Amino acid sequence: MSSKLVPSNPSEVAVIRNITPNIVTVSVPFARVGIFRIGGRGTIIRLTSGTLAVYSPVALTPETQAKVTELGGRVGYIIAGDMEHHIFLSEWVRAYPDAKLLGPKGLQEKREKVKDDPRIGHEPFAFTWDASNQRDAAGVSDEFAADFEVEFVGAHPNKEVVLFYKPDRALIQADLLFNLPAIEQYSKVPDAEKSSYGLLNRIFVSLNSTAGEAKGLKRFLWYGLSNAAGDRAGFNESVRRIDAWEPEIIVPCHGETVEKDGGELFRKVFEWHLQGHK
């Protein structure tokens, strides 16, 4: 059940912050399988048209809803960042029924198989990405294409939908890149709880840190993630296209937001993928 995966008191632990005047993040604690403290983050983006896009939404608290209203209130797009980031889609669709639901192909069918979780509805997706349209933004709408580049990373095991918000040069992504530890996302958690984090969590954090030479993360991406679906070449191609966007900001769902020099960090972490070999 999704109730075991999300904080029971989201209003108390969420950190709502403007990264830019048009990008707001909602950061919350989240522990994968109850062990790995990776945090969670939803991102609200105001398009040039004034329409809002919500990427990988987290719980829709009164505080988050107030921020949406402050940004203009017109939610036009609710986006699942990949096959795993979908728990709160239904909650947002109910609140903003005129919004288009977007995500990777196959997610609607995955959700329709869930019968015993009240959080997960069976709403139809207005647009989905797969290998046949992996960079298609215009298929969503003209206003969406005006502000976003899209890369569907089908070679990632979670089928990532990566966005680049052109006005702020912001890369917005779910599980392509973690930037642990999740400091902001756990900043409102009591210190007593933080002290209980175990050895497995510390190892996982070390493998998903961009600090220094990021050797652990580079190895994790190269040996593990990029070949998990058996298509490292396809993964590398997607990484090269994302790198060509030259992002300044990187907003991950898990870990710290990178607010400057994002392209430099991206090239460091994905060096082996960009050159095609170790």
Q: What is the pLDDT of residue 198?
A: 83
Note the pLDDT of residue 1: 47
pLDDT tens digits, residue range 222-249? 999 999 999 999 999 999 999 999 999 9
Tell me the pLDDT band of 216, cut-offs 50, 70 and 90.
very high
Residue 3 has pLDDT above 60, yes or no: no
- pLDDT cut 90: percent of the chain above it: 88
Q: What value does the mean pLDDT of the chain take?
A: 95
Helix, strand, coil shares of the chain, percent, nearest 5, are 35, 25, 45
pLDDT at 201 over 90: no
- Residue 194 is predicted with a pLDDT of 67
Asked whether residue 2 carries a pLDDT value surpassing 60, the answer given is no
Task: Tell whether the model's pLDDT for residue 25 goes beyond 60.
Answer: yes
Whole-angstrom distance, CA of residue 49 vs CA of residue 203: 44
Residue 209 has pLDDT above 60, yes or no: yes
Radius of gyration of the chain (CA): 18
pLDDT recorded at residue 200: 87
Q: Taking the model in full, what pTM does it have?
A: 0.95
In terms of C-beta distances under 8 Å and separation of at least 24 residues, what long-range contacts does 112-120 make, across chains too? 116/1, 117/1, 117/2, 119/2, 119/3, 119/87, 119/88, 119/90, 119/91, 120/2, 120/86, 120/87, 120/89, 120/90
Set out the domains of the chain in order of their start, with CATH numbers. 2-275 (3.60.15.10)
Strand ranges in 146-230 using DSSP code E only, listed in sequence order: 148-153, 160-165, 170-173
Q: pLDDT tens, 52-63?
A: 999 999 999 999
Q: What is the mean pLDDT of residues 244-266?
A: 98
Backbone φ and ψ for 46, nearest 5 degrees, come out as -95, 115
74-96 average pLDDT score: 98
Mean pLDDT of 97-106: 99
